[in-house]
């Protein structure tokens, strides 16, 4: 992660209403407190008293983000293109696009909560690149070994197919629920037969196997997508034009 521009943004939505992400560009070393009474307010415009007054502290570091989760109901980490995971306490994270969903209700809430209101903190680094270290400092539960001779990049049609099938999982800012598209629906969207979609995705899946995918999975199972993203085969979202700094935060 390089020292390019970093943004910390609050993003909230509920049925029939979606708020524009607001926040600010931060310099390395700056710490921002986020919560109902934080410098960056979350759980106020889309009200949720289950979010702590000071829910999370975020510091922009030279090579990542130093975060401290204080929210009593916890938080879920949603790295772009990776599986979500629950996080607590102090963490050091490296990834170009990180979303932290602060939980305001029951502690049993997980990656696909049915709560219709969502409260996100977006951490965006424009010049950062995906690395095989993954989005967290500690080793992942499943270890992947990258081949010394990585497979060729995806072809245009292959990337088109995988981005379409996993479109909801690759959206930024994130939306929930997010599910893979069925292959017959993807075929209709692409104007080709389902067998052609399967053939494209088989080649993509085989690249993930060569990159160290721990087991073969179905073509709509995102496990192989996560391996490809972690190995840099799919680029993260580009600069986000939606960024806005409100007057009270300047």
Q: Name which residue leads in pLDDT, 163 or 115.
A: 163
Q: Do 209 and 244 have their domain in common?
A: no
CA–CA dist 173, 129 (Å, integer): 18
Q: Do 118 and 74 have their domain in common?
A: yes
Q: Do 25 and 48 have their domain in common?
A: yes
147 in a structural domain: no
Q: Do 20 and 41 have their domain in common?
A: yes
Q: Do 14 and 119 have their domain in common?
A: yes
217 in a structural domain: yes
Q: Do 225 and 245 have their domain in common?
A: no
Q: Do 32 and 54 have their domain in common?
A: yes
Q: Given this model, what pLDDT does residue 131 score?
A: 55
CA–CA dist 13, 115 (Å, integer): 11
Per-residue pLDDT at 69 exceeds 50: yes
149 in a structural domain: no
Q: Which domain, by its residues, includes 210?
A: 156-230
Q: Given this model, what pLDDT does residue 2 score?
A: 45
CA–CA dist 65, 125 (Å, integer): 10
- Rounded to the nearest 10 degrees, what angle do helices 194-210 and 223-230 cross at? 50
Q: How confident is the model at residue 135 (pLDDT cuts 50, 70, 90)?
A: low
Q: Do the Cβ atoms of 191 and 185 come closer than 8 Å? A: no
138 in a structural domain: no
Average pLDDT for residues 8-36, to the nearest whole number? 92
1 in a structural domain: no
Report CA-CA distances (Å) from 220 to 28, 85, 183: 39, 20, 8
- Per mean pLDDT, which range of 43-57, 102-116, 228-242 is the poorest? 102-116
**SS3 at position 165:** helix
142 in a structural domain: no
List, for residues 78-99, the tens digit of each pLDDT value.
999 999 999 999 999 999 999 9
Q: Do 125 and 10 have their domain in common?
A: yes
Number of domains in the chain: 2
41 in a structural domain: yes
Q: Given this model, what pLDDT does residue 4 score?
A: 66
Counts of helices then strands in the chain (DSSP H, E) = 4, 12
198 in a structural domain: yes
Q: Do 12 and 123 have their domain in common?
A: yes
Q: Do 193 and 109 have their domain in common?
A: no
Q: How confident is the model at residue 20 (pLDDT cuts 50, 70, 90)?
A: confident
Per-residue pLDDT at 147 exceeds 50: no
Q: Do 26 and 97 have their domain in common?
A: yes
Q: Do 24 and 124 have their domain in common?
A: yes
Strand partners, 77: 85, 100
CATH number of the domain enclosing 95: 2.60.200.20
Average pLDDT for residues 31-56, to the nearest whole number? 94
List, for residues 165-177, the tens digit of each pLDDT value.
999 999 999 989 9
């Amino acid at each position: 992660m390089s020292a390019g521009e970093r943004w910390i943004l609050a993003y909230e939505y509920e049925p029939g209403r979606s708020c524009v992400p607001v926040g600010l560009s931060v310099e390395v070393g700056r710490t921002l407190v986020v919560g109902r009474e934080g410098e960056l307010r979350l759980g106020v415009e889309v009200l949720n008293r289950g979010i702590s007054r000071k829910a999370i502290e975020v510091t922009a570091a030279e090579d990542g983000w130093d975060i401290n989760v204080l929210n009593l109901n916890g938080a879920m980490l949603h790295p772009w293109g990776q599986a979500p995971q629950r996080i607590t306490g102090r963490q050091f994270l490296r990834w170009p696009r990180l979303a932290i969903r602060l939980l305001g209700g029951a502690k049993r809430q997980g990656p696909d909560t049915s709560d219709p209101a969502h409260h996100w903190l977006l951490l965006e680094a424009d010049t950062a690149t995906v690395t095989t270290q993954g989005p967290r400092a500690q080793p992942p539960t499943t270890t992947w070994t990258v081949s010394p001779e990585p497979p060729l990049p995806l072809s245009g049609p292959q990337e088109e197919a995988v981005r379409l099938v996993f479109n909801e999982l690759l959206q930024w800012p994130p939306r929930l629920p997010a599910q893979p598209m069925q292959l017959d629906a993807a075929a209709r969207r692409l104007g080709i037969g389902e067998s052609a979609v399967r053939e494209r995705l088989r080649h993509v899946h085989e690249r993930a196997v060569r990159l160290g995918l721990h087991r073969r999975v179905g073509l709509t199972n995102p496990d192989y997508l996560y391996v490809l993203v972690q190995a840099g085969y799919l680029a993260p979202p580009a600069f986000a034009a939606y960024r806005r700094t409100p007057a009270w935060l300047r």
